Amino acid sequence: MFDVIREIGAITRLIQTKSNAAFRELGLDNNGFLYVIRACEQPGMFMGELADALQIDRTTAFRTLKKMVAAGWFELRADTTDKRLRRVYPTAQAQAVYPRLHAFEQARSEYLLSDLTPRERKRLTVLLKKLKAERD
């Protein structure tokens, strides 16, 4: 069954490679596009929540966020109740490219799943959630 995990990894790398190439000219390679998508979809997440949502270790995510803040993609604001926590908000620059990133993500997903029936898609979703839930 190890081949199943290898296939999942190969699909993930394929998506990342295509996405990084597509958004390199925006300065969103190295998976920066993922940060923009998540922050636009859920503005105001704590930095740690964003790292967890991306399933990236927090140290790497914080380092990347710092670079992206400097590049104008995000704004960090202290939480109103706990000043130690920082919330991530997309800037106008991030919000402007979000529709393009989201459309690309949807198109790639549709392409990769195009040979599956609606029933197979539902079953795949259930199985992948089961794999993930058992390991969180």
Kindly state the greatest CA–CA separation across the chain.
49
pLDDT tens digits in sequence order for the chain, 136 residues long: 678 889 989 998 999 999 999 999 999 988 999 999 999 999 999 999 999 999 899 999 999 999 999 999 999 999 999 888 999 999 999 999 999 999 999 999 999 999 999 999 999 999 988 887 766 5
| Closest-CA residue to 86 (of 53, 55, 49, 54) | 49
CATH of the domain at 8: 1.10.10.10
Cα separation, 127 vs 136, in Å, equals 15
pLDDT score of 131: 84
Predicted pLDDT at 109: 92
Buried b (16+ CB within 10 A) or exposed e, 45-65: bebeebbebbebeeeebeebb
How many angstroms separate the CA atoms of 61 and 32, rounded?
10
Distance CA 67, CA 6 (A): 31
CA 134, CA 136: separation in Å to the nearest integer? 6
* pLDDT number for residue 30: 86
Residue 124 is part of which domain span? 2-133
Cα distance between residue 83 and residue 121, in whole Å: 43
Instruction: Work out how many domains the chain is built from and give that number.
Output: 1
